[in-house]
């Protein structure tokens, strides 16, 4: 399979206040290398604060890396013209960790999901509404939510709007940052089934960031483990989770609560 | 009378499209020092039920109940100033919106300490750093000086937990408090909540989608579906041998080792399988 995403030698730091009125540099990502082939599902797990969301934002071209290179479909997004970048962007989508922050609270659900479609395709209002209704149905939301705003929805409902929006343009790469942590296990099952199904039928590629190792095991072919800004372990999912080598991965596996039914 | 007593709670939202009942006759009794879990469908009214205990339901909500009380406080009197912070504190489901973007984490927690404790400035600073340490933030000084957007999702969630604990309330409502945390930090937070219960007799209402977490920390559990409690009882019993088809369906829907490549059962499918109705 051809390479879809290649991240090499990426470094990132932020200038922060150390609490004593001085500034210092916080190294958030150190020498990150990731290759994702088309059609793969990769799990990214790791400590809270280890840099997963920062890496996702760099991959999406939302923030620049300090150094290193990110190639999507062989192209460096930061080197493209604005129009070229816009065209490439339709092939990548992200579901952010927090729907209430990432989605515009003034827009209706209809407009939120329609927005990316309108930016890239011309279609009639009726056709657009039908497409949005179909996307909402895929994530288990009824048509009656079309005119709601995010602020008037539950956490899990809002998260599903974010997922429907990300799927709207059938992107090649979907970065999912904790997509199901706000969902009850039944809706989670529905979303995971949908993602697996889309992958089987359209060959979608996923980078799935999650704290839930059962979800990683269910979805991912390979897994990357991050700790303190570095990838400390990577490999086939079952191999890593069955015999973790790095102390942090071992701690993760050991701390996973046992499901009550098993 | 139980410490938290909710009897026949109804919440109706007055929407432009007409009234919408989102909590339909919920009754719960939580004893002092108990950790009481609520699980259930997304949108079933868990958060709405919790916010009625603080008077923080949305403007469009009409709340009624036979009884709604926490400790000495009859919440139907709506004397919220006496309740919020001192009696009941809440860890909100969505940390990023619960934190104020224009103040540092330290300033926000200090404001709560100033309002609800007698501590002087120096003691407040010490308490602040102690709280941040207790919730497992690796660099309390840095976190205190950070604005919410400068810290990760899981760090925001821990900052919010520290803030909820800072008022020293008797009752804690924890709405999905560990969703953004990796399991090692989650284990630390759960241990902290248990120790606060053991040492201070904190009463905790614990909302979670994670059945494993519920079975680990909760004494009792209630299962919600469409605005109603469909099953309640000791957490072990309910989660080991559930009576209601919805609870059984939830247990089946969790991904498990060996489930990859299979279609996970969802509730609609399961309800039919178990002969229940999905009304
Ligand atoms: N804009 C910023 N300014 C300063 N520091 C930042 C900024 N954004 C992120 N950080 C810091 O970078 C580190 C990594 O954050 P990131 O959000 O990538 O973590 P994460 O792995 O996604 O964690 P979580 O699992 O909790 O979401 C954290 O220490 C955070 O405080
Ligand atoms: N301001 C509002 N206006 C209209 N409907 C609302 C409003 N707030 C919540 N709702 C609706 O009330 C119902 C109950 O919401 P609630 O937030 O209590 O659900 P929940 O059980 O906490 O779900 P989740 O697990 O997804 O967080 C949902 O169907 C939601 O869409
Ligand atoms: Mg993150
Ligand atoms: Mg909720």
Task: Please state the φ and ψ torsions of residue B215, each to the nearest 5 degrees.
Answer: -70, -25
Question: Could you say which of A14, A181, A192 has the minimum Cβ distance to residue B179?
Answer: A181
The pLDDT assigned to A57 comes to: 94
CB contact at 8 A, A112 and A165: yes
Please give the pLDDT value at position B268.
63
A249: CA distance to ligand 4 center in Å? Answer: 30
Alpha-carbon torsion A43, A47, A51, A53, what sign? positive
Q: Indicate whether B28 pLDDT > 90.
A: yes
- Mutation pick for ligand 2 pocket among B16, B22, B59 (CB with most ligand atoms within 8 Å): B22
Going by pLDDT thresholds of 50, 70 and 90, the confidence category of residue A19 is low
DSSP chain B: --SEEEEEEEEEEEETTEEEEEEEEEEEEE-TT-EEEEEE-TTSSHHHHHHTTTT---TTEEEE-SEEEETTEEGGG--HHHHBTTTEEEE-S-HHHHS-TTS-HHHHHHHHHHHH----HHHHHHHHHHHHHHTT-S-HHHHHH--GGGS-HHHHHHHHHHHHHHT--SEEEEESTTTTS-HHHHHHHHHHHHHHHHHH--EEEEE-S-HHHHHHH-SEEEEEETTEEEEEEEHHHHHHS-SSHHHHHHHHHS--TT-TTSPPP-HHHHHHHTT----
pTM tops 0.95, yes or no? no
Q: Return the half-sphere exposure (C-beta side, CA atoms, 13 A cut-off) of residue B183.
A: 21
Q: Which helix (H) or strand (E) holds A190?
A: helix A185-202
Place of tokens 């400790």: B71
Lowest mean pLDDT among A111-115, A164-168, B183-187: B183-187
**Cα(A145)–Cα(A133) distance, integer angstroms:** 9
Task: Tell me if B256 is assigned to some domain.
Answer: yes
Q: What is the pLDDT of residues A23-45, one digit of tens each?
A: 889 999 999 999 999 999 999 99
Q: Check whether B279 has a pLDDT greater than 70.
A: no
What's the average model confidence in pLDDT over A120-142? Answer: 93
Ligand 2 in contact with A156 (CB < 6 A)? yes
| Short-list A98, A197, A100, CA closest to A139 | A197
**Tens of pLDDT along B267-278?**
765 444 443 333
Residues in chain A: 262
Judge whether B254 lies within some domain: yes
Q: How far is CA A2 from the centre of its chain?
A: 21
Which stretches does DSSP call E strand in A122-183? 173-177
Say how many domains are in chain B: 1
Least confident window among A156-165, B51-60, B68-77, B219-228 = A156-165
CA distance B189 to B131: 12
Domain assignment present for B171:
no
| Local confidence band at B111 (pLDDT 50, 70, 90 cut-offs) | very high
| ipTM value greater than 0.90 | no
Determine the average pLDDT of the residues in A53-80: 92
Residue B79 lies in a domain: no
pLDDT digits over B167-206, tens only?
A: 999 999 999 999 888 898 899 999 999 999 999 899 999 9
Question: What is the share, in percent, of chain B residues with pLDDT greater than 70?
Answer: 96
For ligand 2, say whether the CB of A154 is within 6 Å of any of its atoms: yes
What DSSP state is assigned to residue A220? -
Q: Which helix (H) or strand (E) holds A70?
A: strand A67-72
Question: Which of B99, B105, B150 has most ligand 1 atoms within 8 Å of its beta carbon, as the pocket-test mutant?
Answer: B150
The continuous run of DSSP H or E covering A218 comes out as helix A213-219
pLDDT in tens, A169-213: 999 999 999 888 878 888 888 889 989 988 998 889 999 999 999
Rounded Cα distance between B166 and B112, Å, is: 7
First to last CA, chain B: 33
Least confident of A93-97, A216-220, B142-146: A93-97
CB contact under 8 A, B42 and A187: yes
Structural domain includes residue B122 = no
Task: State whether A183 and B42 contact (CB < 8 Å).
Answer: yes
Q: Rounded to an integer, what distance in angstroms lies between the CA atom of residue A114 and that of residue A119?
A: 9
Q: What is the DSSP letter of A166?
A: H
- Cβ-in-10-Å burial (0-12, 13-18, 19+) of A253 comes to middle
- Is B276 inside any structural domain? yes
pLDDT digits (tens, 9 = 90+) for B217-264: 999 999 999 999 999 999 999 999 999 999 998 888 888 888 888 888
Phi-psi region of A31 (alpha: psi -120 to 50; beta: other; left: phi over 0): left
Alpha carbons B151 and B153: distance in angstroms, whole number: 7
Section B60-78 average pLDDT? 96
Helix, coil or strand: residue A182 = coil
Q: Ligand 3: distance of its center to the CA of B179 in Å?
A: 11
In a domain, B16, yes or no: no
Give Cβ neighbours of residue B232 (< 8 Å, ≥ 6 apart). Answer: B28, B220, B221, B222, B223, B238
Q: Which domain holds residue B252?
A: 244-279
CA of A3 to the centre of ligand 4 (A): 39
The mean per-residue pLDDT over the stretch A48-69 comes to 94
Helix (H) or strand (E) holding A12: strand A3-17
Tokens linked to A171: 């992107």
Question: Per-residue pLDDT for A241 more than 80?
Answer: yes
Contact A214 B96 (CB under 8 A): no
Residue A62 CB–ligand 1 contact under 6 Å: no
Give the count of beta carbons closer than 10 Å to the beta carbon of residue A170. Answer: 12
Residue B155 beta carbon below 6 angstroms from any ligand 1 atom: yes
- Look at A63 and A187; give whichever has higher pLDDT: A63
Answer whether residue B265 is part of any domain. Answer: yes
């Amino acid at each position: 399979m051809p390479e879809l995403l290649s991240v090499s030698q990426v470094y990132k730091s932020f200038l922060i206040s150390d609490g004593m009125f001085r500034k210092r540099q916080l190294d958030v990502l150190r020498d990150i290398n990731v290759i994702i082939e088309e059609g793969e599902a990769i799990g990214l797990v790791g400590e809270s604060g280890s840099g997963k969301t920062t890496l996702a934002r760099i991959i999406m071209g939302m923030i620049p890396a300090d150094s290193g290179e990110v190639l999507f479909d062989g192209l460096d997004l930061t080197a493209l013209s604005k129009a070229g970048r816009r065209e490439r962007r339709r092939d990548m989508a992200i579901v952010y960790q927090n729907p209430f922050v990432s989605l515009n609270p003034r827009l209706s659900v209809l407009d939120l999901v329609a927005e990316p479609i309108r930016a890239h395709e011309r279609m009639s209002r009726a056709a657009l509404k039908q497409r949005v209704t179909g996307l909402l149905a895929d994530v288990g939301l009824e048509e009656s939510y079309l005119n709601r705003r995010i602020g008037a929805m539950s956490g899990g409902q809002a998260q599903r709007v974010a997922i429907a929006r990300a799927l709207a343009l059938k992107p090649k790469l979907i970065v999912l940052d904790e997509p199901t942590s706000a969902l009850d296990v039944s809706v989670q099952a529905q979303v995971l089934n949908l993602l697996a199904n889309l992958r089987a039928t359209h060959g979608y590629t996923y980078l799935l960031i999650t704290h839930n190792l059962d979800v990683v095991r269910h979805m991912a072919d390979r897994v990357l483990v991050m700790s303190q800004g570095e990838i400390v372990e990577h490999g086939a999912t079952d191999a890593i989770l069955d015999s973790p080598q790095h102390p942090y991965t071992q701690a993760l596996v050991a701390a996973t609560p046992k499901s009550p039914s098993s | 009378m139980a410490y938290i007593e909710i009897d026949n709670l109804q919440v109706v939202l007055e929407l432009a499209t007409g009234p919408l009942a989102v909590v339909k006759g919920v009754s719960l009794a939580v004893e002092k020092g108990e950790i009481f879990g609520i699980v259930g469908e997304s949108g079933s009214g868990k958060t709405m039920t919790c916010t009625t205990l603080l008077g923080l339901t949305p403007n469009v909500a009409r709340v009624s109940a036979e009884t709604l009380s926490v400790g000495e406080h009859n919440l139907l009197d709506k004397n919220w100033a006496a309740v919020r912070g001192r009696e009941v504190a809440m860890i909100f489901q969505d940390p990023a919106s619960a934190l104020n973007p224009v103040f540092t984490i330290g300033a926000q927690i200090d404001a709560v300490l100033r309002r609800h404790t007698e501590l002087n400035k120096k003691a407040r600073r010490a308490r602040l750093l102690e709280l941040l340490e207790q919730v497992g933030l690796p660099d309390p000084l840095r976190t205190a000086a950070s604005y919410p957007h400068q810290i990760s999702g899981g760090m925001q969630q821990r900052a919010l937990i520290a803030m909820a604990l800072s008022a020293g309330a008797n009752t804690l409502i924890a709405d999905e408090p560990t969703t953004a945390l990796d399991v090692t930090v989650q284990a630390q937070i759960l241990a902290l909540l248990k120790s606060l219960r053991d040492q201070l007799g904190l009463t905790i209402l614990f909302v979670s989608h994670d059945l494993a977490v519920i079975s680990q920390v909760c004494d009792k559990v209630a299962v919600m579906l469409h605005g109603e409690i469909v099953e309640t009882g000791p957490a072990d019993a309910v989660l080991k041998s559930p009576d209601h088809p919805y609870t059984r369906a939830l247990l089946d829907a969790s991904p498990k080792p060996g489930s990859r490549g299979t279609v996970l059962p969802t509730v609609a499918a399961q309800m039919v399988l178990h002969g229940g109705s999905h009304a």
